[in-house]
Amino acid sequence: MKKVIIILGIMLLLTSCSHNVPDTIDFHGHRFYLESVENEEKVYNMRDGAISYGETYNIIINETESGLNIRFGHKNYLIEGEQDNYTVTYPNRVKIKHTNNEDGEVVCGDLGKVSEYPEIGEFKAFLKKGSVDINGSQLFFGFILIIIGIISIVNPEVTFFLNRGWMYKNTEPSELYLTLTKFGGVIICIIGVVLQISSCSS
């Protein structure tokens, strides 16, 4: 029973929802590369030698309860919302809202007060889409494969019985068969996890 709980825990950990950290971010005319990740803080830097006002700027991203806190050019920006509907609070505390709808992009706020800062549309690079498309059949098939894999790992005798053992009386699988079945179960679990992860696209 203990083995079952451990394996289930590993599977749940692997298939739990998590946000991938992008390796690069295109912002304000430059490409920034991921330098480090520590707790909720991500640091990106430029590698092309580009400078602004005599300095090479990093981007520091912190996830907070209020939203994403972006530090760029020694100034802080707060982003709240998702790609299709978000608000940016600029360093001078002016809020600008950006919305995507059927008519296109809509920007609300006093743009004249933030003309010296990056444009509102550039901050979309830090945000994820608000919805996730899920391939239901692929997700279900991946779940089934994980269950089959777990059974093969924890109790390969059951796999033997379902496969061939029911056709004969008093038959026992060999050690080689049990070992290969467990190994196959691991492979099946991995395939199932990959299918579940790939069934979701942001």
Domain range list for the chain:
2-14+133-201, 20-126
- Of the chain, the end-to-end C-alpha distance in Å amounts to 36
The whole-number average pLDDT for the span 135-139 is 70
Contact 121, 111 (CB under 8 A): no
* DSSP letter assigned to residue 73: T
Least confident of 77-81, 144-148, 160-164, 189-193: 160-164
CA atoms within 13 A on the CB side of 202: 13
In percent, how much of the chain has pLDDT > 90? 32
